[in-house]
Chain A
Amino acid sequence: MNPETIIFFLLAATAIFSAAMMLLSKNAVHSALWLVLNFAVVALFFLWLGAPFIAMVQVTVYAGAIMVLFLFVIMLLGAELVQDERNVLRRQPWWAMLLAAVFLGVVGMFFLSNGVGPLPPAFADEAAARAFGSPTEIGLALFTQYSLPFEVTSFLLLVGMIGAVVLTRDEKK
């Protein structure tokens, strides 16, 4: 087993462990912090897969902005210790586990029948490796081929912002 594979499995184990701890933590603040760790590890995978721009966006937007917003709301509501007191659907957790096991079994069967599959193609030289997924290339694609979706996302963010302000406004005033 070569060192890359060992590093991959260590990182993958960290990602899976942090995701599982996110689900198992009783305290919502702990859940949020485990999710931050998970996002950081996935950002490392993005770097590994030649997506430095996406990795940095992941760290700043996901692990930074979005999770800080989550922590703000948890602490604002004082809801960090809200328990799952009662389940209306009593057997729902068992069905969830069963369906998750079935889904993972399908993924495993895909591996068993198709093998490991191809390695990603190697880069021609170091310049090509640096160019792939760089901010320059992403920006070029965003502002030429994908300029209409890019404009639509700006509108979507505006709608989201107005929606958040309207929803949290105090009705009584």
Chain B
Amino acid sequence: MFPLIPTSYFVALSGILFTLGVVGVLTRRNAIIVFMSVELMLNSANLAFVAFARQFMDVSGQVFVFFVMVVAAAEVAVGLALIVTIFRTKKSINVDEISQLKG
């Protein structure tokens, strides 16, 4: 069956991928790439959930991953609609130029 690897390896990989997602959100200014970095972070959290589900032999972790994926799908639908609307009015998706709500 599946070969055994310490759970901590998967958790560490999840942490590295999450960090890369954070760096993407903080450094890139293209709204779509910022959004993709958020997806990367969600996915790395899913990896940690599945690793712990395997460690504790509890399928609840996998059910939670399912819910995270549903939320991510809804978030992508609404977020991309927002990006399309902002691009239509401002002709830009640079997140630094979207500052009209700043006081």
CB-CB contacts of A143-154 with B at 8 A, as 1s and 0s? 001100100010
- The interface residues of chain B lying within 8 Å CB-to-CB of A62 are 39, 43, 69, 72
Determine which residue in B9, B44, B71 has the highest number of CB atoms from chain A within 10 A of its CB, and name it. Answer: B9
Are A163 and B36 neighbours in the complex by a CB distance under 8 Å? Answer: no
Number of chain A residues whose Cβ lies closer than 8 Å to a Cβ of chain B: 91
- The interface residues of chain B lying within 8 Å CB-to-CB of A111 are 8, 12
CB-CB contacts of A60-75 with B at 8 A, as 1s and 0s? 0110011001100110
In the complex, number of A-B residue pairs with CB atoms less than 8 Å apart: 244
Known: A22-B24, A73-B80. A141 touches B60 (CB 8 A): yes
List 9 A-B residue pairs with CB atoms under 8 Å apart, sorted by A's residue number.
Answer: A12-B9, A12-B13, A23-B27, A69-B76, A69-B80, A97-B27, A132-B57, A160-B73, A164-B81
Interface positions of A (Cβ within 8 A of B) = 2-5, 7-8, 12, 15-16, 19-20, 22-23, 28, 31-32, 35, 38-39, 42, 45-46, 48-51, 53-54, 57-58, 61-62, 65-66, 69-70, 73-74, 76-77, 79, 82-89, 92-93, 95-97, 99-100, 103-104, 107, 111, 114, 116-123, 126, 129, 132-133, 137-138, 141-142, 145-146, 149, 153, 156-157, 159-161, 163-165, 167-168
